[in-house]
């Protein structure tokens, strides 16, 4: 039986099943092992890991809720967050996707150039950054799902560049959903696009290392917010918001972040928002050392982490921004069919529009059908989401059904 416990409950002889943290944040080679010493327990607490999952069949037991009970409670809390109006879309996903492809290409090229120039000691040219941020903002205004769904797929070679574009896009969408003014949204977008500029000074052998980083290598990685801040300070026309986001996007509200170990009182809202979207994009992306989780799972994980690391109110607002079932999420319906979310509902995130394409009872593809889950049977709806599903489990590719014919 799997149980989730507070790290203060750890005892030698317990079998760790999951350290419940980002894969870069714990000091162990393996994520599953039996605790053999008090020193290992001290390492877990020193890494600011607040909760872990133990396997009671392989080690000592303790009085605690099961993992299934914890997940059910989290799901109930997440579901309660879902009822809130969202910004209306101005164009369809299919129409915006065509423009989003070009915007993605333009943005990745710019970030690549910025990184190359930073390595050579050249200043960032803001006249090249501004139109890219403006194009991303305009795309989000028309239909945020298009660009965000395109940016879900990253390869090992272009991860660093696409991650920066994703953080920019997510941060623009987040700011817009919170009703911020145009100038603040623009400045936040610049900050998101340039937040990892300091990684230009990190050797590729460390950035792309397939295994866990050593303490020395992680210390080099932890320098990138300060290095990026120092680089951008030399950029004519750079604003205070991009500098703040670059320096503080790895700070955490409990003081466990870096480079300044600020607590919540010392971190601006925009830097806290950037921290949320940075982690969200990182844990949903495939890396050479980690398989990304689904967007729906990532949102629930960040919600759990908000008890310590993130501002809970901002996390809930971010969940409403992207939807608890973001565009591109594969879902299981009550009827036993699988579908992919193609558009959020305007007032209830539990009832998006879904393109249904697979029958799990017969394990066969079916003719795609667009369902509006807010409608009744006979009016284009008549079904209900019961869970989000991993495509690998059913050996299907929902992305093929993201664009309606």
**How far is the C-alpha of 99 from the C-alpha of 89, rounded, in Å?**
15
- Give the C-alpha distances (Å, rounded to integers) separating 133 from 72, 129, 172, 306, 340: 39, 6, 9, 28, 29
- pLDDT for the residue 287: 75
Is the pLDDT confidence value at 390 over 80? yes
**How far is the C-alpha of 218 from the C-alpha of 223, rounded, in Å?**
9
Q: How confident is the model at residue 291 (pLDDT cuts 50, 70, 90)?
A: confident
Please, how many CA atoms are within 13 Å of residue 202, restricted to the half-sphere of its CB? Answer: 24
Query: What burial class does residue 379 get, using C-beta atoms within 10 Å of its C-beta: 0-12 exposed, 13-18 middle, 19+ buried?
Result: exposed
Lowest mean pLDDT among 120-134, 172-186, 245-259, 367-381: 367-381
| Residue that is written with structure tokens 């369902």 in the block | 371
- pLDDT for the residue 350: 86
Lowest mean pLDDT among 31-45, 156-170, 269-283, 379-393: 379-393
Highest mean pLDDT among 13-22, 155-164, 215-224, 289-298: 215-224
Q: Buried b / exposed e across 144-154, counting CB within 10 Å, b at 16+?
A: bbbbbbbbbeb
Please, how many CA atoms are within 13 Å of residue 275, restricted to the half-sphere of its CB? Answer: 30
- pLDDT for the residue 281: 94
- pLDDT for the residue 117: 94
Counts of helices then strands in the chain (DSSP H, E): 14, 9
Whether the Cβ atoms of residue 195 and residue 167 lie closer than 8 Å to each other: yes
C-beta neighbour count of 69 within 10 angstroms: 12
**Mean per-residue pLDDT for 71-81?**
87
**Mean per-residue pLDDT for 315-342?**
93
Q: How far apart are the two ends of the chain, measured CA to CA in Å?
A: 46
**Mean per-residue pLDDT for 169-197?**
97
**How far is the C-alpha of 380 from the C-alpha of 388, rounded, in Å?**
21
2-6 and 51-55: which strand pairing? antiparallel
Concatenated DSSP letters of 359-400: ETTTTEEEEEEEEETTSPTTTT----EEEE--HHHHT--GGG
Is the pLDDT confidence value at 240 over 60? yes
Fold annotation for 93-322: Hypothetical protein af1432 (1.10.3210)
Is the pLDDT confidence value at 139 over 70? yes
Contacts of 313 (CB under 8 A, 6+ apart): none
**How far is the C-alpha of 315 from the C-alpha of 210, rounded, in Å?**
30
- Look over the chain and give the mean of its residue pLDDT values, rounded to a whole number: 90
**How far is the C-alpha of 196 from the C-alpha of 149, rounded, in Å?**
21
Is the pLDDT confidence value at 32 over 80? yes
Better-predicted residue by pLDDT, 212 or 228: 228
Concatenated DSSP letters of 59-92: S---S--BHHHHHHHHHHHHHHH-BS--PPPSS-
Gyration radius from the chain CA atoms: 22
**How far is the C-alpha of 112 from the C-alpha of 165, rounded, in Å?**
11
Q: How confident is the model at residue 356 (pLDDT cuts 50, 70, 90)?
A: very high
Quote the pTM value: 0.90
**How far is the C-alpha of 341 from the C-alpha of 82, rounded, in Å?**
15
**Mean per-residue pLDDT for 76-93?**
76
pLDDT in tens, 167-182: 999 999 999 999 999 9
- pLDDT for the residue 155: 76
Is the pLDDT confidence value at 22 over 70? no
| DSSP tag of 323 | -
Contacts of 356 (CB under 8 A, 6+ apart): 333, 337, 338, 339, 366, 368, 369, 370, 371, 383
Contacts of 138 (CB under 8 A, 6+ apart): none
């Amino acid at each position: 039986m799997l149980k989730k416990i507070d790290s203060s409950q750890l005892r030698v002889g317990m079998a760790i099943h999951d350290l419940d943290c980002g894969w870069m944040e714990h000091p162990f080679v393996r994520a599953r092992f039996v605790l053999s010493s008090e020193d290992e327990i001290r390492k877990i607490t020193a890494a600011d890991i607040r909760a872990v999952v133990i396997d009671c069949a392989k080690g000592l037991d303790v009085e605690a809720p099961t993992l299934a009970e914890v997940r059910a409670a989290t799901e109930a809390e997440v579901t309660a967050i879902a009822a809130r109006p969202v910004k209306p879309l101005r164009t369809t996903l299919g129409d915006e996707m065509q423009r989003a492809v070009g915007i993605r290409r333009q943005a990745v090229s710019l970030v690549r150039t910025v990184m190359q120039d930073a390595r050579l000691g050249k200043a960032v040219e803001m006249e090249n950054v501004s139109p890219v941020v403006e194009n991303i903002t305009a795309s989000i205004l028309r239909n945020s799902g298009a660009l965000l769904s395109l940016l879900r797929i990253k390869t090992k070679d272009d991860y660093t560049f696409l991650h920066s574009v994703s953080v920019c896009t997510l941060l623009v969408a987040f700011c817009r959903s919170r009703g911020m003014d145009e100038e603040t949204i623009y400045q936040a977008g610049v900050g998101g696009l340039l937040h990892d500029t300091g990684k230009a000074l990190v050797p590729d052998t460390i950035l792309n290392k397939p295994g866990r980083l050593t303490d020395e290598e992680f210390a080099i990685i932890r320098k990138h917010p300060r290095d990026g801040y120092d680089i951008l300070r030399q950029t004519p026309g750079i604003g205070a918001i991009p500098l703040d986001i670059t320096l503080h996007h790895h700070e955490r509200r409990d003081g466990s972040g870096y480079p300044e170990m600020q607590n919540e009182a010392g971190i601006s809202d925009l830097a806290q928002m950037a921290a949320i979207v940075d982690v969200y994009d990182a844990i949903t992306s495939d890396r050479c050392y980690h398989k990304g989780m689904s967007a729906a799972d990532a949102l629930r994980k960040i919600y759990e982490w908000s008890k310590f690391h993130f501002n809970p109110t901002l996390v809930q607002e971010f969940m409403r921004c992207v939807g608890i079932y973001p565009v591109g999420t594969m879902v299981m319906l009550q009827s036993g069919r699988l579908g992919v979310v193609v558009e959020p509902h305007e007032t209830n995130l539990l009832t998006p529009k879904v393109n249904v394409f697979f029958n799990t009872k017969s394990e066969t593809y079916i003719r795609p059908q667009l369902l509006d889950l807010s409608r009744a049977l006979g009016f284009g709806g008549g079904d209900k989401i019961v869970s989000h599903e991993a495509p690998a489990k059913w050996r299907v590719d929902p992305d093929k059904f993201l664009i309606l014919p």
